[in-house]
Structure 1
Amino acid sequence: MGIMGFLRDRMGKILAFFIGFALLAFIIGEVVRSGGSFFRDDRNELGNVSGEKVAYDEFAKKVEQNSTQFRQQSGQGNLSPQITSYIQETTWNQMISQLILKKEVDKLGLVVSDDEAKSMVSGDNPNPQIVQAFGDPKTGQVDKNKLNTFLNNLAASKADDPVRQQWSDFISQMIEAKLSEKYVALVTTGLYVNSLEAKDDYEAKNKLANFKYTVLTYASVPDSKITVTDGDYQSYYDEHKNEFKNQQETRTFDYVSFNAAPSSADSAAIKAQADKLVTAFKATKDDSLFVQINAETKAPLVYVHKGRLEPKLDSVMFNESNGFVYGPYLSTGSYKIAKLVDARTEPDSVKARHILIDDRTIGVEKAMAKADSLKKLIQGGKSFAELANMFSVDKNSAVKGGDLGTFGRGAMIPVFEDAVFSGKKGDLKIVASQYGVHLIEIEDQKGSSKVVKVAIVDVPLKASSQTQTTVYSKAQGFLGSLTKDNFDEEAKKAGIQKKTATDVRGVAAALPGIDNAREIVRWAFNAENGDFSDKVYISDNQYIVAHLVMIKPKGILPLDAVKKQIEPMVKNKVKAKVLTDKFAGALNGVSSIDQVAQKVGSQVTPLENIVFANPVIPGSSAEYKVIGTVFGSQPNKLSKPVEGQQGVYVFVLNSFTNPPALTNAVREKQQMAQTILQSADAQIFEALKDKATIKDNRAKFL
């Protein structure tokens, strides 16, 4: 009874201990499997630069900012995986460059003082972007009145005004750029070209060599006539080891793709669906609403000039009357129906200015009323430019009196364009858009041509669920048949072509034939060599199964990883030994290159005016070793065999033509220094990146 009582009394503590122990073991197990640490929060660590963390949330914020900027500049609404990958890569490089530079700048104690920062905005030598935004086109100088008005408006604006944050970001970027400029100037000041270097460079570009050569090409020796040993591979690898430095980890995998393209039955069913829409499209009174309800691509209805529609429509719509319906027709993977909504004649281009009123805080009605009040002030003689400077939230145009310049169709949002292209010179118009309420003045209109507004309903040609299920089952069956070593064999049995994605980086967005490949790339970077994919991956109409065949780690790659890559060069090295021996035998007892060529069954080719700085043999390729040997030779003396890029050479130097003596070493030194400086910026940062320890975890996040 004593023991049972003891257990009853302490059972709660015992259970709590074991439950706590089990929970801790579970957490530790999960952490070990995920490669993280319970006590160190690295789940947000996208990367690390010499101990400085690159946070994922900060990276994601900057990617979104850069993506928004790209959309505004390009006019693209949706970004493709390739464009998204490009923006992510650019953002990553910006962030690691900033961290690397910051370490160097802090180490050297470089700063941009408050006075310097102010000078870059309002001093005698302002930043070029300040000149661009606030400059007077006539003088090319900053308009102090415009700049001061903007700064005063900024100081008076609310703390949450987005323009404040934009200005703060601009100042920060300007200071970072100035620090970078200071650091580069500090390094490049130490670059120097001496007189001997100037003389060598002058002679390399102007000293001429005249010689004859004969060559035995590597192609003249069949692969079947040579034996390549492991020692040959090792020897070549050891000589060129530094060429095999992998800057980032890469992975190579084979894959097969089961195509779930729409069947003929699917196509017929979708065509019938489109046919049913034609009657309703003809009858509708609200074409825009009809498009929004029935189209896959819900594009706004806008006026366009001839040449802006796809060819099938462009040749029809400019010759028909309103209400005409064309289609269904097949285009870019969809059945489409097009309706001519309106046609009219309008200007080719418009010059306009506007005052943009923010309706987010006061509402659309009050913003419209404010715009109407400003309109009456302008009609009463008030300056549009002054009012724009005072009231417009579009600060980029406000500093220029609201001026938007001259533009054609497609440059502005549709509601804005409809207002300025349908009005006449001198009109003041008020319209609301997603950006706020615009008070617009049409300053000028030029040209005249016909435009049309066409509503398009598209019905995508997609595989039916039955087709998708059938193809997915085939892919799943293929995956289920795989073992560690039978991927190629099973692909042949299934009659599917195997493809290879070679040296894929962890942030790759697309692969040959696969536009959206992030999921499968992410799998590859979490798999072990020899693994096949854990599931069937889907990309558009493709069902993909993959097999990881090679992992190339960051750093110097081992011989096995580059063996296939260096095979042609290794074979040429072995062939070079054969050809060198052949030339060596031919050189015995001869006194001319013609005799050597005759013995080996080759020809003699004369060359004139070859310079060391351009070591190219005409009709062949760059032959650095051959041309270098020529310039180190004595005239009228047969050379020993020289192993080149295309084959083994023997030559005889006829003569050198020396250039006039260098009389202006100063100019030569300046030209060389300028060339060095032009590439210095990029080389400095590449050197800093090589020196830094950069950990890249993007493959696990993106």
Structure 2
Amino acid sequence: MAVLNKIRQRSVFLIVIIALALFSFVLADLIRNGGAISQKAENTIATINGKDIDRTEFARKVELASRSFGGGTSSIQAVNYVWNQELRETVFEEQFEELNIRVGEDQVNQLLEESLANNPTFLNEAGVFDKAKMQEYVANVKATSPQAYQQWLDFEVSVSKGAREQTYLNMIKAGVGSTLKEGELAYKMENDNVDIKYVQLPFSSIEDTEVEVTDAEIKAYIDAHKDQYKAEASRSIRYVLFNEVPSQEDEDQIKAEVAALLDDKVEFNEVTKTNDSVLGFKNIDVKDAEEFVNQNSAVKFDSGFKFKKDLPTTEADTIYNLGIGDVYGPYKDGDYIKISKVVAQKQMPDSVKASHILVSWAGLGTAGDIKRTKEEAKTLADSIIAVTQADNTKFSALATQFSADTSSKDKGGDLGYFSPGRMVPAFNDYCFENKTGDQGIIETQFGYHIINIEDQKNEQKAIKVATVAQKVEPSEKND
């Protein structure tokens, strides 16, 4: 009793102590989490089983989904599609980790072969999937197109995820069984027949005025059948979607900035403390165009020659007919504002038929069991081309004997017809810059190629275009 009496006497003091403790607890939590409105909270649109969904990444996936579906899909449908994918992926990933489900490299390769079995890019002359062609394609895009190589890696990840999902679903199917009683009941339900005659008296045939139901009867019925009226908790949600798209003002601003690059300007040099004249895109020498583009463009300089069909559709006629050194733009191409300058032109075929003998050396991905050094490979390549230049009829037999390209060696090294950009740069340049009948040796990341140009088709004008491109993006003025 004495203790209780002391507590009553100091009740105000105890209340103050408890309040301070609670306040320090809340304050510490706020500090630990970066404040009530943290950056993390601002960038997180949802949390699925503890996994935060980043707003920027989610928006990027919605944009990709909208592009892949085309114009027939609304923004809401794209959002719902991406959300369902995120939900499905998160739930599946938890099960994969809990059950330790993994997919081996051999299984992924098998699924890749099945997925690409009908793709003509990976078929041999017999119309059968050729694994070597797939490997050559991957090596080619890795060396020539980072974007295409990333798309291939994303495709492999997608196939791997699909394999894990299939493994998981197969495990579920294997665990579901039926008893003999269930089978017996299913049999009876399907095969036992009974003839029934009945008379239907629908409730609608009775006038409502003939029946009076009191509130007490309704309440009594509900109380007696509560299980029929249970409902799960639900929420009604409304949301507004704000598309982050550039305005006309944003487009005009980028167009003005790109147009300003056309003409010469004067800039103050902080080092020399003098005004320097800076040449504009119109006046730079064609040999300096590459450096200018790489300094001022969101898309780096493309050194390849383009045919008319490779140029932006709406501007192709104008750009294709420009003279060397002429400039066109600004013009809009997709999400970019561009200015283009023709820096070179030449006549070149739109397709080439060639054969090659690939001489590899130890350490390369194409070497296999080959033990020769790079120097020995060069000596061998020089010896082979000396024979083929003297007697071209021996090219096919030598390809079968020495070529490390498993996809073409059995065909005498024949690669068929291909268009510009299909091969790695050095190989591509040799085939399109030389003439039918020429033979030469070039080096790539695969080894030494002894190339025989067999045919060239449809020679026409091709141009090299230096293009400065800036993407039109939403500005903060639209917020």
TM-score under structure 1 normalisation? 0.33
Structure with more relative contact order (C-alpha pairs < 8 Å, separation 6 or more): 1
TM-score (norm 2): 0.46
